Amino acid sequence: MSLNLHMSANPGVSPDRRVSLGHGRPLVAIPGPSVIPDRVLNAMHRAMPNIYEGALVELSTGILNEISTIPRTSGHGFIAITNGHGAWDMALSNTLSRGDKVLVLESGRFAIGWGEAATVSGVEVEVLHAPPRRAVDPAAVEERLRADKAHTIKAILVVQIDTASSVFNDIAAIRRAIDAAGHPALYMVDCIASLGCVPYEMDAWGVDVTVGGSQKGLMVPPGLGFTWAGDKAMEAHKSAGLRSSYWDWTKRITGESHYWRYHGTPPISHLYGLREALDMIAEEGMENIWARHAVFASAVRAAIETWAAPNGLEFNVTDPAARADSVTTLLTGSIDPARLRQICDQQAGLTVGLGIGNEGGSFRIGHMGHLSPPMILGTLGTIEAALTAMGAPMGGSGIAAASARIAAAMQG
Ligand SMILES: *Cc1c(COP(=O)(O)O)cnc(C)c1O
């Protein structure tokens, strides 16, 4: 059958027909895994090399020497074949002993998850809750630590960006609170959803252990877990009773051959991908990456501010200063978030994130990593179209506001 292009409209094709519109490249706008650059994917597609000597060992040694520049530390960086949950375990097992007590600073589901991992390992966990939908309050941390006169708390666990609530915590301010209380506990920070998205200064902020993962701001498929350890953490490591063969930092540093840097066969394809991602980060410049994330986050927030309506959407995080630049959680009021996600996914090729651990309905927009204005505006425009199709209560169209924020960062 051929189309008669001379007719005023294609016969039988009405723009009102309900069809799936999502036939271009699908877009996944969940808070990890993020969009992986084609450059990284292509770099990973290669035959397996000699793992004992030659180019791979050189590539890997270069990466291990360079990886500590990402969280800005002069401490050791470790790369393991694992996901973020494994990296949590690597941090805990290398520094703590059964029966030790840790203080988890909760501001969403992810800090709780890290604490649960510690509990399973026989660590006693106390949770200091932030007020609902708010960031960790440094003053509350100081007060709790001052009360711990015997210094029974061995470590403080916090998440820089909690990917469930989309709370952004002030890591430097929490350090100042720990110092003000004169408390010696190790300070451990999960940056899985924030490294390569927002400023982070491990050494300048006095962080002892940083935890990362490959698949969010670092633009590499899931499969690599990172820990970075400062001097104080390496000292605690010497007497850590939870040390286990696979995660052990000492073996990974001193093991007699390169093979032990990964406690076994290296994650070859991922290392090629990571090399490419580190090159892309260096080409763009970390400060520029942070600025780009700030612009896109501001565009997302501008759209939401306009969409917000009684019984409709609202920010999960109430304090504007505590809203993350890599992920935004929205509460959905009377709007069915499952239906919204379904319309976006099945009719438009856009996957937005499930809400997790929030009161009532919610969903999440991931805005981390390898993103451009067409991707951000496309995501927001598609969500807006789905809300419109659903007849959702909306304060107005957010697209102009989002586009204005992007325009403000452009040179005319
Ligand atoms: C994604 C994420 C995790 C868990 O990572 P997995 O790779 O899914 O195990 C932990 N913490 C934060 C803050 C995260 O964003």
Compute the average pLDDT of residues 139-157. 98
On whether the CB atoms of residues 183 and 150 are closer than 8 A, the answer is no
Ligand 1 atom showing the smallest separation from residue 86 Cα: 9
Q: Which DSSP string do the residues of 139-150 spell out, in sequence order?
A: HHHHHHHHH-TT
**For a substitution probing ligand 1, which of 192, 198, 210, 226 has the most ligand atoms within 8 Å of its CB?**
192
CA of 88 to the centre of ligand 1 (A): 9
Rounded CA-CA distance 156/186 in Å is 6
CA-based torsion, 372, 373, 375, 376: positive or negative? positive
Picking from 118, 210, 86, the residue whose alpha carbon sits closest to that of residue 160 is 210
> What pLDDT was estimated at residue 2?
41
Rounded CA-CA distance 93/118 in Å is 9
CA of 43 to the centre of ligand 1 (A): 24
Compute the average pLDDT of residues 64-76. 98
Ligand 1 atom showing the smallest separation from residue 215 Cα: 7
**For a substitution probing ligand 1, which of 30, 88, 110, 325 has the most ligand atoms within 8 Å of its CB?**
110
**Which range, of 3-12, 49-58, 166-175, 323-332, averages the lowest pLDDT?**
3-12
Residues 245-277: tens digit of each pLDDT: 999 999 999 999 999 999 999 999 999 999 999
What mean pLDDT value characterizes the chain? 95
> What pLDDT was estimated at residue 4?
45
- Atom 12, ligand 1: residue with shortest CA distance: 192
This prediction has a pTM of: 0.95
* pLDDT at residue 197 greater than cutoff 50: yes
Ligand 1 atom showing the smallest separation from residue 88 Cα: 10
Compute the average pLDDT of residues 305-323. 97
> What pLDDT was estimated at residue 18?
67
Ligand 1 atom showing the smallest separation from residue 225 Cα: 7
Compute the average pLDDT of residues 172-186. 98
CA of 108 to the centre of ligand 1 (A): 12
* pLDDT at residue 10 greater than cutoff 90: no
CA of 355 to the centre of ligand 1 (A): 14
Q: Which residue ranges have their beta carbon within 6 Å of ligand 1? A: 32, 83-85, 110, 159, 163, 190, 192-193, 213, 222
* pLDDT at residue 198 greater than cutoff 90: yes
> What pLDDT was estimated at residue 360?
83
Picking from 295, 265, 307, 325, the residue whose alpha carbon sits closest to that of residue 397 is 307
- Atom 6, ligand 1: residue with shortest CA distance: 84
* pLDDT at residue 1 greater than cutoff 80: no
Residues 329-354: tens digit of each pLDDT: 999 999 999 999 999 999 999 999 99
CA of 326 to the centre of ligand 1 (A): 13
Q: Which DSSP string do the residues of 195-222 spell out, in sequence order?
A: TTTS---TTTTT-SEEEEESSSTT-S-S
